[in-house]
Amino acid sequence: MPEEICIFTKGTLIIKAPKKSPASLRMLVLVFAMVCGGYICLVCLKQTNIHTNTKLLNVEVHQNHCHNIDRSQTPFVHYPNPTSFGRDECACNPVRLFAILSMQRSGSGWFETLLNSHINVSSNGEIFSVKDRRSNVSSILSTLDRVYNLDLFTSASKNHCSAAVGFKWMLNQGLMEYHKDIVEYFNNRGVSVIFLFRRNLLRRMVSVLANSYDRYAKLLNGTHKSHVHSHEEADALSRYKPVINSTSLVMDLKLMEKMVLQALEYFSSTRHIVLYYEDLIRNRTKMVDVQEFLGLPEMELTSRQVKIHKGSLSEHIKNWDVVDKILRGTIYEGFLHTDYNN
C-alpha cells in the first residue's frame, strides 16, 4: 500500500494522507495466517508420523518373522555374521553358543560325538589343546570370537545353518587361570556351559594313566589312539594295567575333586547344566535334557566310540590290593565298586 497519494490538478498539487486499514481487519488477517500455518504444520507432521510408523511396523514385522523365539531365551540366541562366508540363506536361523567344560578322560570325547550326531550341532573338539590359542587372555577371547562367529572351521563344522555351535574345553587349558575374563565373555555373549565330569575319579585316574602309557607304547600297531571304534581295539588297550601311586593316591583324588568344585564355583553365574559320565551311561534319556538345554529339536543321538575299561576296576589296576586297602574306610571307598555294567 503506498504511503501517500498525489493528485495533480491544473496549477494545484494536493497531497492526501494515506488511508489506514481498520485494526479489526488487520487482526482478522493475522488470525487467518496463523490458522493456515498451523494447519499446514499439522498436515506435515501427520504425514511424517505415518511414514515413520510404517517403517517401524515393517521392521517389527521383519523381526517377528526372523526372531520368533521365547523372550526368556533372547540373550542366548544369536544370528552370527561370519566374515569368511555368506550366511544369507540362514540369516533367520538362530544359533545357540555352548562350551563343554570337562577334564581329560572324563567321557567328553564320547559325549561330543553324541552331540555331533545331531544334524543341527557343530561341536568343534578340543580347540584349546593348541597352546598358541591359550597363551594369554587376548588369544583366548580372539579364538572364542572365531568359533562363535562361525569363522573357525574344523572337521565337525557342518553347514551354515547349524542351530548350536561350540567346543570342549579342558580345565587345565587356561580355563581356570583366566576364569574371570572367560565368565564375563560367556555372560556377555550368552554362551551356555555344559559341565561334564566323572563321579568315580579313581576310574578316571586309571584311564589317564593308561592313555599316557599308550601315547608312547602305541599298542595298536604302532598307533596311539585315545578313542577306539571296535571291541578288538578296546580289548587290546585294556590289557595294560597301570600301577597306582599309593603314596599320593588320596591326595591326588582330593586335588581332582577340588578342581571340579572350583570350576563349578567359578562358572556358577553362567547359564549351565551339570552332567556326570556315569549318569549318561546308565540313563541315555539324559541326552534329551541336553538337547532341551540347547534348544534343539529332539533326535536319537549315537556314537561309534567303544568303551575301553569295562567292568570292575580290580581288573584294570595292577596293584589293586594296595589301592583297595588304602581307600577302605575313606570317603573314596565308593570308588572301589563297579559303577556301571558296560
Which residue, among 200, 197, 209, has the nearest Cα to 102 in the 3D structure?
A: 197
| Domains of the chain as residue ranges with CATH | 79-336 (3.40.50)
Question: Would you state the pLDDT for residue 200?
Answer: 96
Please tell me the distance from the alpha carbon of residue 213 to that of residue 207, in angstroms, as a whole number: 10
Say how far residue 207 (Cα) sits from the centre of its chain.
29
Q: What is the pTM of this model?
A: 0.77
Start-to-end CA span in the chain (Å): 110
CB 46 within 8 A of CB 33: no
| Strand ranges in the chain using DSSP code E only, listed in sequence order | 5-9, 12-16, 96-102, 121-123, 164-170, 191-197, 272-276
- Going by C-beta distance under 8 Å and a sequence separation of 6 or more, which residues neighbour residue 245? 252
How far apart are alpha carbons 313 and 323 in whole angstroms?
A: 10
Q: What is the pLDDT tens value at each position of the chain, 342 positions in all? A: 444 444 444 444 444 444 555 666 667 666 666 766 666 666 555 554 444 443 333 333 333 445 555 655 667 777 777 776 666 777 777 889 999 999 999 999 999 999 999 988 999 999 999 999 999 999 999 999 999 988 877 666 655 567 899 999 999 999 999 999 999 999 999 999 999 999 999 999 999 999 999 999 999 999 999 999 999 999 999 999 999 999 999 999 999 999 999 999 999 999 999 999 999 999 988 999 999 999 999 999 999 999 999 999 999 999 999 999 999 999 999 999 866 655
Strands 121-123 and 164-170, by their bridges, are: parallel
CA proximity to 200, closest of 275, 277, 252: 277
CA 75 – CA 19 distance, rounded (Å): 77
Q: What is the pLDDT of residue 16?
A: 46
Single-letter amino acid code for the residue at 271: R
pLDDT, position 220: 94
Map 287-321 to HEC letters. HHHHHHHCCCCCCCCCCCCECCCCCCHHHCCCCHH
